[in-house]
Amino acid sequence: MQPGISTHYRYFCSTYMFIELGNKRYKKITNTSYLSDFEEHLNRLEKSPNESVNARVLTLIHYANGNIDTLCIGEYRGICLNGDLLLHDEDFHNLIMDEIDFYDKKLYEKLRKK
C-alpha cells in the first residue's frame, strides 16, 4: 500500500489483500550481501502473541529448494512471517524499508498531487 495512507482498519498479511490494491511496486532483490543480512536478521526473530501489523509491504521469500515464505511489514512497525506475528525488530524493519525505498520522497510528492 502506498506510504502515508491512513485507513479505518488494519491490513493483516494476506496475498489476496495485496492483489486487490492499486499503486503496487515490485522489486526483485538478488544482492547476495543484502540477502545475507536479511536472512541473519530473519533467523533471529521470535514469535510474539502481543504484536500486531498493519501490513504495507508484502515480501515473498523464494528459497533454492522451491519453498516460498510470506513476510509482511507494517509502515512503521509490525512483522508477520507466514501468518505468525513476530517481535518487532527496528533494524530488520529499516533494512527492508531502505532496500525497497519505501519512503521515496518523489513518490510522496506524486501521491500528494493526486
CB 53 within 8 A of CB 80: yes
Q: State how far the Cα of 43 lies from the Cα of 25, in Å rounded to an integer.
A: 26
Q: Contact, 56 vs 73, CB < 8 A?
A: yes
Model pLDDT for residues 14-42, shown as the tens digit of each residue: 555 555 555 667 889 999 999 999 999 99
For the chain, what is the mean pLDDT? Answer: 79
Across the beta sheet with 79-81, what order do the strands follow? 55-62, 68-74, 79-81, 84-86
In a 3-state reduction of DSSP, which class is residue 85?
A: strand
Give the global pTM: 0.73
